[in-house]
């Protein structure tokens, strides 16, 4: 981190040398006083403007330091401020302690947010509809455009600053455990094994949950562009116990449908379409509720949510605006591969 720190008495020439050694999107220095308190930031643009205004390369950086800078406080990360900074084009965002000293630097191109949550990915299924592809490879490890399906999700989660990630596995578990012997997205992923099938959410009972916290629980075999940042914000703003990610689902009836009152026909509609929200297999759940799942209890997420509703808990939904594919069949697998190839080509 020292390579980003410069004393306020250093010259602009030395600052240019330091900036020249930094990666292109990280060319920001944090100017400190004699007690290492951050007093401002400095970029090559600041120096260029100062030189054009008459400063010399021997001038101290304190003369051109940008003192009205954005920062985060250690232990009190403001995800809304992070978003505002990203939208303004700020890349390097400092985290300061209570005395104003630099403790961390966040590259907003790499870390979209720092969400105060844990994550559990369910990866125990056999993927029978994708056989023979899944005879020797668990579905989450099938590769799409050169990357395991589950790694797309892990990397999306880690980009939100989440470091407590657990994968629950059963079928070919040894291969998933071996896969995560190396960090993904810079994070060491933990694995737990279901000794018996526990449904689509029962394995959450095998993971310890932080008191008062929130956990992202999701299927691992999804390809999605969901914003976990937006989903968490909705969950927190609504003070929800459970937030369910949903996708629009339309049902078209190929017949004329009657509305009736007893034996009387009160209306008729030709080939109507009905719109619904379908469960996307992604949830934000309060740890208090997850702690209610009994050890080794088989339970599906839909039953878990129904129980929460019956108990008067606050359950809300979050529509996914973007890509969502449940990679459950060969057709889905091919579609996901095509979408990821398209995204890769668009980013070139």
The pLDDT profile of the chain, 348 residues, written as one tens digit per residue, is 889 999 999 999 999 999 999 988 889 999 999 999 999 999 999 999 999 999 999 999 999 999 999 999 988 888 888 889 888 889 999 999 999 999 999 999 888 888 999 999 999 888 888 888 788 889 999 988 888 999 999 999 999 999 999 999 999 999 999 999 999 988 999 999 998 889 999 999 999 999 989 999 999 999 898 999 999 999 999 999 999 999 998 888 899 989 899 999 999 999 888 888 999 999 999 999 999 999 888 999 999 999 999 999 999 999 999 888 888 788 888 888 887 776 666 555
The pLDDT of residue 74 is 87
For residue 159, how many other CB atoms are within 10 A of its CB?
17
- Domain boundary pick from 84, 107, 130: 107
Burial string for 237-268 (b: 16+ CB within 10 Å, else e) reads eeebbbbbbbbeeeeeeeeeeeeeeeeeeeee
Give the CATH number of the domain where residue 204 resides.
Answer: 3.90.550.10
Residue 309 lies in a domain: yes
Last residue of a domain, one of 72, 107, 142: 107
Distance from C-alpha of 340 to C-alpha of 152, rounded to nearest angstrom: 10
Tokens of 297: 């209890």
Same domain, 122 and 48: no
The Cα 335–Cα 339 span in angstroms is 6
Q: How far is CA 31 from the centre of its chain?
A: 31
* 160 shares a domain with 188: yes
Q: Is there a domain that residue 169 lies in?
A: yes
pTM of the model: 0.82
Q: Which of 48, 76, 107 is the last residue of a domain?
A: 107
Burial-class residue 194 by CB neighbours within 10 Å (0-12, 13-18, 19+): buried
What pLDDT shows up at residue 311? 96
- Please tell me the predicted confidence (pLDDT) of residue 135: 87
Same domain, 50 and 195: no
Predicted pLDDT at 110: 86
Q: Are residues 36 and 57 in the same domain?
A: yes
Q: Is residue 112 part of a domain?
A: no
Looking at the structure, do residues 200 and 243 belong to the same domain, yes or no?
yes
Which residues fall within 8 angstroms of residue 42, CB to CB, at 6 or more apart?
A: 6, 15, 19, 28, 29, 30, 31, 61, 64, 65, 66
Residues 224 and 151 in one domain: yes
Domain that holds residue 10: 2-107
At residue 293, the pLDDT reads: 93
Note whether 103 and 239 are same-domain residues: no
Say whether both 144 and 290 belong to one domain: yes
Whether residues 223 and 326 share a domain: the answer is yes
Which residues make Cβ contacts (< 8 Å) with residue 64, sequence separation at least 6? 12, 42, 46, 47, 49, 50, 55
Number of separate domains in the chain: 2
pLDDT of residue 119: 97
134 and 161 both lie in a single domain: yes
For the domain that residue 61 is a member of, what is the CATH number?
A: 3.10.580.10
Angle at which helices 228-237 and 79-87 pack, to 10 degrees? 140
Parallel/antiparallel/unpaired status of strands 72-73 and 92-96: parallel
What DSSP letter does each residue of 137-153 carry, written as one string? Answer: S-GGG-EETTEEHHHHH
Note whether 78 and 152 are same-domain residues.
Answer: no
Q: Is residue 223 part of a domain?
A: yes
Q: Fill in the DSSP letter of residue 63.
A: G
Q: Are residues 208 and 90 in the same domain?
A: no
């Amino acid at each position: 981190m020292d390579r980003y720190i410069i004393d306020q008495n250093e010259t602009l020439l030395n600052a240019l040398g330091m900036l020249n050694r930094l990666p292109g999107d990280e060319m920001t220095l944090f100017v400190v006083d004699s007690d290492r308190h951050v007093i401002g930031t400095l970029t090559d643009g600041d120096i260029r403007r100062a030189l054009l205004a008459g400063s010399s390369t021997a001038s101290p950086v304190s003369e051109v330091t940008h003192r009205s800078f954005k920062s985060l406080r250690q232990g009190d990360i403001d995800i809304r401020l992070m978003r505002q900074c990203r939208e303004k084009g700020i890349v390097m965002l400092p985290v300061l302690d209570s005395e104003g000293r630099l403790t961390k630097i966040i590259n907003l191109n790499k870390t979209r947010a720092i969400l105060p949550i844990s994550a559990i990915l369910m990866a125990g299924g056999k993927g029978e509809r994708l056989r023979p592809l899944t005879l020797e490879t668990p579905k989450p490890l099938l590769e799409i455009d050169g990357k395991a399906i589950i790694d797309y999700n892990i990397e999306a989660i880690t980009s939100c600053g989440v470091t407590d990630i657990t994968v629950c596995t059963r079928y070919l578990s040894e291969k998933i455990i071996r896969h995560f012997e190396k960090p993904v997205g810079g994070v060491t992923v933990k694995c737990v094994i279901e000794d018996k099938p526990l449904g689509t959410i029962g394995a959450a009972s095998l993971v310890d949950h932080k008191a008062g916290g929130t956990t992202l629980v999701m299927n691992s075999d999804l390809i999605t562009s969901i914003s976990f940042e937006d989903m968490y914000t909705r969950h927190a703003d609504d003070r929800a116990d459970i937030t369910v990610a949903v996708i629009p689902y339309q049902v078209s009836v190929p017949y004329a449908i009657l509305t009736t009152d007893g034996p009387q026909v009160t209306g008729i509609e030709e080939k109507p379409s009905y719109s619904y929200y379908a469960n996307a297999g992604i949830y934000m759940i309060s740890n208090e509720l997850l702690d209610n799942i009994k050890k080794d209890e088989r339970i599906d997420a839909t039953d878990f949510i129904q129980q929460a509703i019956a108990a008067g808990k606050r359950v809300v939904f979050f529509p996914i605006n973007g890509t969502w594919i449940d990679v459950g069949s060969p057709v889905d697998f091919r579609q996901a591969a095509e979408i990821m190839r398209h995204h890769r080509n668009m980013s070139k």
